[in-house]
Amino acid sequence: QVTLRESGPALVKPTQTLTLTCTFSGFSLTTSGMCVTWIRQPPGKALEWLARVDWDGDTYYTTSLKTRLAISTDTSENQVVLTMTNMDPADTATYYCARIRYASGLAMDYWGQGTLVTVPS
């Protein structure tokens, strides 16, 4: 059974760094064709892709946030960590991690429930 769960602070002050952890089970990120990605959704707005890490260690970031994001893995702990620097109230959103499989046409086939992060103004 594949599960993903996001964890991290619910409140982050402006200019601080956000660290979110995605803990997954039911698959190995070292299996060819597996990826874990981070996506966020500000209140009332659309889903926005942030970053992804592939089974071979390659990482990719959305262009607009590339300088603020870092994604890393701890394969022994089945975790993927996302850090976002210089947090701003505009970064208030629900943050999701999800699995992507090349075999499913690059679909996000399993998602976590999401974690709401608030950056007060």
Partner 1 sequence: QSVLTQPPSASGTPGQRVTISCSGNTSNIGSNTVHWHQHLPGTAPKLLIHSNNQRPSGVPDRFSGSKSGTSASLAISGLQSEDEAVYYCATWEESLNGPVFGGGTRLTVL
Q: Return residues touching partner 1 (CB under 8 A).
A: 4, 37, 39, 46-49, 51-52, 60, 62-63, 96, 98, 100, 104-114
Distance, CA of 3 to CA of 77 (rounded, Å) = 14
Q: What residues have CB less than 8 Å from 93, skipping those under 6 apart?
A: 40, 41, 42, 43, 45, 48, 116, 117
Query: Which helix (DSSP H) or strand (DSSP E) does residue 96 occupy?
Result: strand 93-101
**What's the min distance (Å) between Cβ of 12 and partner 1?**
21
The residue among 16 and 70 lying less far from partner 1, judged by its C-beta, is 70
| Burial class (CB within 10 angstroms; exposed 0-12, middle 13-18, buried 19+) of 60 | middle
**What's the min distance (Å) between Cβ of 40 and partner 1?**
11
* Kind of pairing between the strands at 18-25 and 48-54: unpaired
Distance, CA of 51 to CA of 47 (rounded, Å) = 13
**What's the min distance (Å) between Cβ of 49 and partner 1?**
4
**What's the min distance (Å) between Cβ of 16 and partner 1?**
25
The residue among 38 and 91 lying less far from partner 1, judged by its C-beta, is 38
The residue among 18 and 51 lying less far from partner 1, judged by its C-beta, is 51
The residue among 16 and 26 lying less far from partner 1, judged by its C-beta, is 26
